[in-house]
Structure 1
Amino acid sequence: MRMLGYTRVSTAAQDARLQLDSLLSAGVQRRDIFSDVTSGSRDAVKRPGMKKLLDYAEAGDTLVVWRVDRLGRSLIDVLNTVNLLQGWGVGLRSISDGIDPATSTGRLMLNMLATLADYERELITERVNAGIAAAKANGTRFGRPLGDPSVIASKLQIVQQERAKGRTAAEAAKLVGWSRATLYRHQQAVQGVATATQDF
């Protein structure tokens, strides 16, 4: 069984030394530590360092992090990453948070994370539904016909708000009943109109 390490900082100006030292002190070999310098807004599995780690990891390995928030941009992203690792037979240990699935306390912490992630999903859904209800109350119609410019504008606004909160394009598009391809098509159409207007 190997211990693999992972560090993440948001910008090159930040120092991962504290994370690195903690991993080395926990017994992780320097050669088995993977790093990312990227915003937490990117899903964990889309980060280059995490991709390399996942390619390198084998069943029976344990991923060690300084804090569990290094894994994801939100509780949902953290839990998705944990579930992915567990599905591959890779354990997780978080030094500062006391999360270690090998212990009863660690398993309790993971269960609490899962509960909080479900709660976060419900809050997001409630906020989106409230926004749609408010838009409908103001006369915005959702659904077909998709060619209605006011509907498209309202949906694009909701998508933009959800993207600003860290949701992916696919997730935000799904909330308004679009596929990611449909979202991109409408965004390109709006950009095309804006460009044509500037040309005049």
Structure 2
Amino acid sequence: MRLLGYTRGSTAGQDAQLQLDALVGAGVQKRDVFSDVTSGSKTAKQRPGMKRLFDYAEHGDTVVVWRIDRLGRSLLDVLATVNHLRDRGVKISSISDNIDPETSSGRMMLGMLATLAEYERELITERVNAGIVAAKLNGAKFGRPPLDPDEIAEMLAIAEDARAKGRTAEDAARLVGWSRATLYRHRQASGTHAILAEPG
């Protein structure tokens, strides 16, 4: 079993060093720490450091983070990352949050995280649907107002989560108010693949 670390910060400054120090203190070797310095607009799977971690991690390894929120830009993204790693037999350990899925308290925390992520997903969907209604009331005859990159990333996260739970691409697209073609267009533009690319 290997301990693999991951850090994420918006700038290469003091915060990243604090995270690294915490990981080394927890027993992670510096050579086994994967890092991203990026804005919050990218989902975990779009970050180069996280991509390398996904490729490197093996069954039985443990990914250690300073805080669980380092794994994603939103609750949906964090949960998608946790589930992706755990499905591959990779364990998660969060130092500050004391989240360890191998313990009963850790599993409870992940359960709470999943509940909050579901709530966030519903809020996002409601916001998108409200935007569509508002656009129609303002005279829009078709389509919807352009989404900013952050919102597109959240919509893709919702769709990917739905696909992971067995829903078809068409159902996943409908969940966020898109057509299947729109879903694939945003997926290709963002570089997201795997689950969304599967037929169905």
Please indicate the TM-score interval, normalised by the length of the shorter structure. 0.7 to 0.9
Other-structure match for 2:102: 102
Cα gap change, 1:56 to 1:129, in 2 (>3 Å) = same
Residue deviations 1:138-164 (CA, integer Å, cap 9, x gap): 3434xxxxxxxxx24xx1x2x32xx25
Distance 1:169 1:121 in 2: 8
- 1:7-156 alignment, distance < 5 Å: 7-141=7-141, 151-152=142-143, 155=144
Distance 2:109 2:152 in 1: 25
Cα deviation, residue 40, structure 1: 2.2
Cα deviation, residue 165, structure 1: 4.1
The alignment-based identity, stated in percent, is 62
| Correspondence for 2:152 among 167, 170, 185 | 167
Distance 2:27 2:73 in 1: 26
The structure number with the bigger radius of gyration is 1
Cα gap change, 1:70 to 1:133, in 2 (>3 Å) = same
Residue deviations 1:12-47 (CA, integer Å, cap 9, x gap): 345411101110111111111111111122111111
Structure 2 gaps, min length 5: 160-172, 188-200
Cα gap change, 1:140 to 1:106, in 2 (>3 Å) = same
Give 3-state SS (helix, strand or coil) of 2:58's partner: coil
Cα deviation, residue 166, structure 1: 3.9
Count, aligned residues: 169
Structure 1 contact 5–32 (Cα < 8 Å) conserved: yes
Residue deviations 1:47-79 (CA, integer Å, cap 9, x gap): 111111111100000100000111101000000
TM-score, structure 2 normalization? 0.76
Q: CA RMSD in A?
A: 2.4
Greater relative contact order structure (CA < 8 Å, 6+ sep) = 2
Cα gap change, 1:165 to 1:136, in 2 (>3 Å) = same
Cα deviation, residue 183, structure 1: 6.9
Cα deviation, residue 135, structure 1: 2.5
